[in-house]
Homo-oligomer: A and B are copies of this chain.
Amino acid sequence: MPRARVLPLVRRRTRPAERDARRVAIVAFPDVEVLDVTGPHEVFAQAAGFLHDRAPGYAIEILTSGASPLVCSSGVKLVPDRGIHEVHGGVDTLLVGGGRGVFDAVRDRALLRWLRRAARHARRLASVCSGTFLLAEAGLLDGRRVTTHWLVCDELARRYPKITVERDPIFVHDRGVYTSAGVTAGMDLALALVEEDHGRQLALHVARQLVMFLKRPGGQSQFSAQLAVQAADRDPLRELQAWIADHLDTDLSVPTLAAEVAMSERNFARVFTR
């Protein structure tokens, strides 16, 4: 069938850039969190699409140590690109996903051995969500600062006392090792890696393409104050939170905000500080 005239959402890469593409290997396992894998994969793929043939892009592959297809924790079934032992040559970016299945994956000795060997030649290591446990079990995080999903920070610190666990950030970079908070934070981490390789403008292009709200810097809190405030039961102020966040370049004085929710300044101040 003929292709549509409309701008494709991911452009196909051409040969020259493909030849020199940086190899991104994403390691998955049964009961992996599907967005830990597909989120970063999409960020790198969009970046490669934008780069087109202007610069070396990314060749992205999903690896597994076991059966195919992989059944993710939500039930989604993914077909990995190859088994870990079919990988020839070095990997540029080695990224491991997390999710419920990681607590079985840390007992997969063949996978741990492969991770240790591949890590020696990779330019950088990364993990999303509880994928941190896999890198930790492989002994690749000793002496480093890392983060993971807020739900399992204490467990990570308890199991691996040689690691410094930072509970708050969206992602942490310590000497070539990047670890991120849970699930959607993997996309923020991938954007940061794209920015490191190709600059901020490209990272922002990708964020806009994916309609991400904000290119979150690593230092931002993973247990978002935004969500905490939204959890409170104060209806007139719920929508205002989002309005403020999206209008930071305008007047945010109390009179303006009070007018936005049709309150007197006095009542606004009373309700908002409650």
Which A residues fall within an 8 A CB radius of B?
A: 1, 3-4, 6-10, 33-35, 37-39, 41-42, 45-46, 60, 62, 69, 73-79, 81, 98-100, 103-104, 107, 129-130, 149-152, 155, 170, 181-185, 187, 200-201, 204, 207-217, 219-227, 229-231, 238-239, 241-249, 252
Task: Tell me the number of copies of this protein.
Answer: 2
Instruction: Determine the chain B residues whose CB is within 8 A of the CB of A9 once the complex forms.
Output: 33, 73, 98-100, 129-130, 149, 151, 182
A–B pairs, 12, beta carbons within 8 Å: A3-B104, A4-B103, A8-B100, A9-B149, A60-B74, A69-B69, A69-B79, A184-B187, A184-B211, A208-B227, A212-B227, A225-B247
* Contact (Cβ within 8 A) B224 A210: no
Determine how close the nearest CB of chain B comes to the CB of A6; give it in whole angstroms: 5
Which B residues lie within 8 Å of A34 (CB)?
38, 41-42
Specify which of B35, B103, B211, B215 is in contact with A222 (CB 8 Å cutoff). Answer: B211
Question: Which residues of B are found within 8 Å of A73, using beta-carbon distances?
Answer: 8-10, 45
Contact between B231 and A217, CB atoms less than 8 A apart: no
From B69, B183, B201, contact of A211 by CB (8 A): B183
Which chain B residue shows the least CB distance to A37? B76
Note all chain B residues with C-beta closer than 8 A to A10.
Answer: 33, 73-74, 99-100
With a cutoff of 8 Å between Cβ atoms, the chain B residues found around residue A104 in the complex are 1, 3-4
Smallest beta-carbon distance A48→chain B, Å: 9
| Complexed CA–CA distance, A55 and B219 (Å) | 38
Q: How far is the CA of A152 from the CA of B6 in the complex (A)?
A: 7
Cβ of A74 and Cβ of B99 under 8 Å apart? no
A34 and B77 alpha carbons, distance in the complex (Å): 12
CB distance B204 to A45 under 8 Å?
A: no
A8 to B73, CA, bound (A): 9
When the two chains form their complex, are residues B217 and A246 in contact, meaning their CB atoms are under 8 A apart? Answer: no
Closest Cβ of chain B to A213, distance in Å, is 5
- Give bound CA distance, A214 to B10, whole Å: 26
A216 and B35 CA atoms in complex are apart in Å by 19
Nearest CB in chain B to that of A45: its residue: B74
Residues on B with C-beta less than 8 A from A208 are 223-224, 227
